[in-house]
Amino acid sequence: MNKKIKCVKIVPGCISCGTCEVTCPEVFEVKGVAEVKPNPDLQKNADLVREASYMCPVSVIQVEEEE
Ligand code: SF4
């Protein structure tokens, strides 16, 4: 079973490509640069959040997994 996600954040360096928003629009929004939406359902969207992190061309989406 996949671990739960504790939190997700976007560190500086986003190039506004839009991939994360397309991959997981319930969690990510690109307003100039990408942001995490307020109070996203990280568990429901866990696989898509991991996919967005993997797909980000500049690797600025950091996913913290629960222990
Ligand atoms: S995938 Fe990465 S570079 Fe592209 S908009 Fe999202 S955070 Fe920014």
Whether residue 14 has its Cβ less than 6 Å from ligand 1: yes
- Domain count for the chain, please give it: 1
What is the CA(60)–ligand 1 centre distance, in A? 7
CATH of the domain at 42: 3.30.70.20
pLDDT tens for 29-49 read: 999 999 999 999 999 999 999
Which residues lie below 8 Å from residue 30, measured CB to CB, with a gap of 6+? 14, 16, 18, 20, 21
What's the half-sphere exposure (Cβ side, CA atoms, 13 Å) at 14? 23
Q: What band does 3 get if pLDDT is binned at 50, 70 and 90?
A: confident
The residue range of the domain holding 49 is 5-65
Q: For residue 8, report the distance from its CA to the centre of ligand 1, in Å.
A: 13
Instruction: Provide the pLDDT confidence category of residue 1 given band limits of 50, 70 and 90.
Output: low
Dist. CA 46 → ligand 1 center (Å): 17
